[in-house]
Amino acid sequence: MTFVHVSIRASDLDRSIRFYEKHFGMKLASRRPIPQNNAEIAFLEGEGTGFRLELTWYKGQRRFDQAPYDDRLFDHLAFTVTAIDYLVAGMKREGVTVTDEPFDLGAGGSRIAFIEDPDGTLIELIEKR
């Protein structure tokens, strides 16, 4: 068995594609309608990582809501980054929601922060030491 990808819902497919391309350097690999369930999907790839993120937009979706943190079934995506403080500062200037400012995980550990994508999906940023 092989793990293939992670899929998250998007309320606006174009906006979400731009977000992941701009802030994480992901590239759009494919995009297509899925008429069987009245949806459209887009696959983005992390360059050289083998990681694929599927964004799913349902045409008939009337309500889009992320559950409060305590009720999340899905917790977060995680990306390794460099210069986390600089990256987070730039994201804040562009209106990205930062839920946890960068902090150290103990002496010599990684430095992490959490942000949200345009639909409230939690994303962990990890700067390895």
Query: Tens of pLDDT along 5-48?
Result: 888 888 899 999 999 999 999 999 999 998 887 889 999 998 88
Confidence at 66, pLDDT banded by 50, 70, 90: low
pLDDT at res. 36: 80
Single out the catalytic residue among 40, 116, 124, 127. Answer: 124
pLDDT at res. 21: 96
Any catalytic annotation for residue 124?
Answer: yes
pTM greater than 0.85 (yes/no):
no
Confidence at 89, pLDDT banded by 50, 70, 90: very high
Q: Please write down the long-range contacts of 29-32, taking CB distance under 8 Å and 24 or more positions apart.
A: none
Domains of the chain: 1-60 (3.10.180.10), 75-129 (3.10.180.10)
pLDDT at res. 5: 81
